[in-house]
Amino acid sequence: MQFRQAAVSAVGLALAAVLATGCGRAAEADSDEGSGPADNTATHAKTTELAERLGADRTTIIVGSVDDTVAVQVYEDMRCPVCKEFEGAKSGAPALRELTQAGIFRTEYTLASFLDDGLGGAGSKRAANALRAALEKKKFTQYHDVLFAHQPEESVDGYTDEFLLRMASLVPGLRGADFDSAVRTMEYRGFVTASEKAYEKAKTSGTPGFGVNGRLVPDTVRGAMFDPKLLATAVEYTAMPPSSRPKLS
């Protein structure tokens, strides 16, 4: 991707107005920021279907083409309200999805579940397990969007089996004996545990966390990932070697 000094300067100027909190680690105290306005729900579930696969590490869920594309890592805990904010209609996720559909980026999801430990319950783990089951049906993307659009309150352990199956009914072709059994029996418990470990190893400052080609998005640019007009530039900036990045204004 061609890098332009003017574009990066624009990110720097905008950062003061684009503040982003997160769930967990350094941002845990801000996790009650909420999920944004009432109409800020995911609306990209009906987009054109994208290729979906499990990465070689058996924890990364890859969406989009892998040929000559920039890899954008997204670290999410399904109970995190700030993750829902990122996935909202007016936030960065729809822009990321559009660029993934265009074959410019691919999106690599890592599903964390640390909020269960802090809040009690097992909703994050159950949701991650259900999403892994949806990947078997090539319905991860659609189901992921539906779950965030209907995310229960963070403090409520709302991702029950019954809720997850009810939400799955909103995704054509997802429900079936095999999927339902995988949800109820936590068939992918090993994947859930390994994914949490992968999240911890990445050492992001919380969720949602972001990386580009394996390099974490700097905290100074992280807020731009929530802005559909700035997300691509923030990705470009992160993709550059740190020594080559121009100073942000």
Residue 229, pLDDT above cutoff 90:
yes
Whole-number percent of the chain with pLDDT over 90: 73
pLDDT for 10 beyond 70: no
How far apart CA 88 and CA 176 sit, in angstroms, is: 28
CB-neighbour burial class of residue 75 (10 A; exposed 0-12, middle 13-18, buried 19+):
buried
The CATH classification number of 5-243 equals 3.40.30.10
Q: Tell me: the pLDDT tens digits for 60-116?
A: 999 998 887 899 999 999 999 999 999 999 999 999 999 999 999 999 999 999 999
Q: Please report the pLDDT score of residue 246 as a whole number.
A: 82
Closest to 71 measured CA to CA, from 47, 100, 110: 100
* Amino acid at the residue 105: F
What confidence score (pLDDT) does residue 149 get? 97
Dihedral, CA atoms, 227, 233, 234, 236, nearest 10 degrees? Answer: 150
pLDDT at 49: 76
Give the alpha-carbon dihedral of 200, 202, 206, 209, to 10 degrees: -140
Q: What is the CA radius of gyration of the chain?
A: 17
Domains of the chain, by residue range, sit at: 5-243
Is the confidence at residue 226, as pLDDT, over 80?
Answer: yes
Residue 227 has pLDDT above 60, yes or no: yes
Top-confidence residue, 179 or 24:
179
Q: Give all strands (DSSP E) within the chain, no chain letters.
A: 52-54, 61-63, 70-77, 105-112, 209-212, 215-216
Give the C-alpha separation, 148 to 43, whole Å.
Answer: 10
State yes or no: pLDDT of 17 exceeds 50. no
